Amino acid sequence: MPTFQLALAHDVSVYGTVEVEADDYAAAVEKVRADLDDASYRAPIWSNINDVEWDTSFGFRVVGVYLLDDNGMGDSPLVEGIQISVPDDSIPLSAEEVLAAITAKRISK
């Protein structure tokens, strides 16, 4: 029987606080905004924001489906980007809706 590996994703709210020295609050906001641009150069301010609110989870999706070979390795994805819940919500889509999305992806390949 074939084995498939599925890369899954969902969105959650993440909270945290940081202290920023700045001349005023607009400059403080700019420092955290600018930190997104400079994130590759050092540990970003945003890496300290890690209090995940799991009950806010939404946007469930399959990022990719891979067929595993005998060595447990997957090649290129068979299908990518399949939404399995209502976007911006946690309400599951019906099996028919998901199958239709998979079929549409396969046809468009």
pLDDT reported for residue 47: 81
Q: Single out the residue of 31, 34, 25, 32 nearest to residue 46, CA to CA.
A: 32
Cα(67)–Cα(75) distance, integer angstroms: 7
Look up residue 87 and give its two tokens. Answer: 């976007």
Could you tell me if 81 and 105 are in contact, meaning their C-beta atoms sit under 8 angstroms apart? yes
Domain boundaries, the chain: 3-108
At which residue do the structure tokens 């990719």 appear?
64
What is the reported pLDDT for 67? 94
Cα separation, 69 vs 76, in Å, equals 12
Kindly tell me the sign of the dihedral angle through the C-alpha atoms of 17, 21, 25, 26: negative
Give the pair of three-digit tokens for residue 108: 């468009």
Closest to 92 measured CA to CA, from 4, 13, 10 = 10
CA 55, 59, 61, 63 dihedral sign is negative
Which mean pLDDT values do the consecutive 10-residue runs of the chain (109 residues) have? 94 92 95 77 76 94 94 88 94 97 89
pLDDT at 43: 66
Identify the pLDDT of residue 82. Answer: 96
pTM for the structure as a whole: 0.74
